[in-house]
Amino acid sequence: MKTNNQPLHQLDAWQAAEALARRDILAVDLVRSCLDRIDQRDSEVHAFIQLNADAALALARTLDAGPVRGLLHGLPFGVKDLLDTADLPTAYGSPIYAGQQPRADAAAVALCREAGAVLLGKTVSTELANMTSGITRNPHNLQHTPGGSSSGSAAAVADGMLPLALGTQTAGSLIRPAAFCGVVGFKPSHNRVSRAGVKSLSETLDTIGGFGRSVRDVGLLGAVLTGDTRLADPRNFDDSTNSAPRIGLCATPDWSLADEDTQQAWAQAEKALAGHAQTFALPPELQNLVARQKAVQMFETARSLRHEHRHHAHQLSASLLTLLEDGMRISGETHAQNLLAVAQQRHVAAELFVDHDVLLAPSALGEAPAGLETTGDPLFCRGWTLLGLPCIHLPFTHGRQGLPVGLQLVGRFADDHRLLAAAHWVHQRLTR
């Protein structure tokens, strides 16, 4: 079935949600369209590790025969293999946990199902959500990385296999794959989404979010995950009522490492947002965010994965072993000092939004790197993750090799709904 001559799997999540609620399309037809797309493409992209096709079709038929259940009624979604699912194995991207079957859904999965979403399958995570690549390829060029660690979720949405997918971020694992795959990636404010049922790496940093093809898509998903319906308020996405935000152009202290493609995207954004944006530099107290984020992540990940390190070291990659060993060398006293500094820096970060509603910043160094040996550098995401601020990647242009490039918007802590409203306004102007 098509809508306006458009295959159903190509619909944005919000478009499909409205059509499903009106009964203009059937959930079973949307699920079939996504499954057909997966059948056509996933042998090359490798976004999924497991499908739930029969159960998804059965649930879709039930949804079509009953009342509308919620904001995600009838929408297919995928779940990163870091989140538990009661009906599909969860291996955390590691052979250590191959075939492990949880008895319960992660909270985020349960909330999506309660809102009417249909789980199509588990998507690839890098090894224990760290930097060692999985099997997923970039759908825009199979010889390039999709990013990580939420690689399968980003690739599946980018390739039209799913309208929505769940992912997580500890450094840059939502924003970077969204940038490399050319989709919208949303990282909510830290602690706004329950992490119950998710393999923990860092209590200070871990955040659950997701991917869609538009800001309005991730607004639907965010509203379900946070319980804050303001994130899906239609007024956020109506230019007649959505006023221009005050935008700070924050290239960050690491701007010199951005390549030509990101620099061109930045120049394009400056032109498109002229009159609404002004250059903004981080204060001295926030100049060392990247180094501190690395230290916090290493310390906490080394202890969160202590069992795996002690008992299954032979099944861990060399790069992860190195990270865990480095993390164990950081003392508890140093970590306590880092946590105090993080609390102070998060307080300073609140002052960033006195004169600005949102900050525009780089998402990645440039296009997705060639090769599958690396997932790319999360440099431009680390600081915002440390501060716990909500972030959203906006794709709007392409680099020299024809791969997607974009930028991210950063909002005030717990102001996720206003970030989405600003992101919609900005994205409309960047894509004109």
| The one catalytic residue among 94, 133, 173, 363 | 173
- Domains of the chain, start order: 10-237 (3.90.1300.10)
Residue 160 has what pLDDT? 98
What residues does 211 pair with on adjacent strands? 165, 185
Cα separation of 214 and 364, whole Å? 19
**DSSP letter string, 339-400:** HHHHHHHHHHHHGGGSS-SEEEEE-SSSSPPBBSS-----HHHHHHHHHT--EEEEEEEE-T
Catalytic (active site) residue 199: no
**Which one, of 39, 35, 41, 13, lies nearest residue 25 by Cα?**
13
Task: Summarize pLDDT for 180-209 with one digit per residue, the tens.
Answer: 999 999 999 999 999 999 999 999 999 999
Question: For residue 37, is pLDDT > 80?
Answer: yes
Query: Position of tokens 């098509």?
Result: 2
Strands (E) in 188-306, as ranges, are 207-212, 247-249, 277-279
Question: For residue 409, is pLDDT > 70?
Answer: yes
C-alpha 396, offset from chain centre: 17
> Could you give the residue ranges of the DSSP H alpha helices within 97-143?
107-114
The one-letter amino acid at 312: H
**Percent above pLDDT 90 for the chain:** 97
Q: How confident is the model at residue 5 (pLDDT cuts 50, 70, 90)?
A: confident
Q: Are 154 and 211 in contact (CB under 8 A)?
A: yes
Question: For residue 145, is pLDDT > 60?
Answer: yes
Residue 173 CB burial class (10 angstroms; 0-12, 13-18, ≥19): buried
Catalytic (active site) residue 271: no
What residues does 360 pair with on adjacent strands? 249, 409
**Which one, of 303, 133, 128, 115, lies nearest residue 198 by Cα?**
128
Residue 203 has what pLDDT? 98
Catalytic (active site) residue 122: no
Q: How confident is the model at residue 240 (pLDDT cuts 50, 70, 90)?
A: confident
Question: For residue 272, is pLDDT > 60?
Answer: yes
Q: Are 356 and 247 in contact (CB under 8 A)?
A: yes
Strands (E) in 12-57, as ranges, are 48-51
Give the sign of the dihedral formed by CA 46, CA 52, CA 84, CA 384.
positive
The pTM assigned to this predicted structure is 0.98
> Hey, is 155 helix, strand or coil?
helix
Query: Position of tokens 């008895």?
Result: 103
> Could you give the residue ranges of the DSSP H alpha helices within 159-253?
175-181, 215-226
Cα separation of 14 and 216, whole Å? 6
Give the pairing of strands 358-362 and 404-411.
antiparallel
Cα separation of 416 and 418, whole Å? 5
Q: Are 404 and 431 in contact (CB under 8 A)?
A: no
Residue 2 has what pLDDT? 55
Question: For residue 117, is pLDDT > 80?
Answer: yes
Residue 239 has what pLDDT? 82
Q: How confident is the model at residue 407 (pLDDT cuts 50, 70, 90)?
A: very high
| The one catalytic residue among 33, 133, 149, 153 | 149
- Determine phi and psi for 236, rounding to 5 degrees: -65, -20
Cα separation of 430 and 405, whole Å? 12
Cα separation of 175 and 264, whole Å? 19
The one-letter amino acid at 75: L
Torsion angle in degrees (nearest 10) through CA of 333, 339, 345, 349: 170
Average pLDDT, the chain: 97
H or E element in which residue 169 lies: strand 164-169
Cα separation of 81 and 260, whole Å? 34
Give the pairing of strands 76-80 and 247-249.
unpaired
149 cis-preceded (ω within 30 degrees of 0) = yes
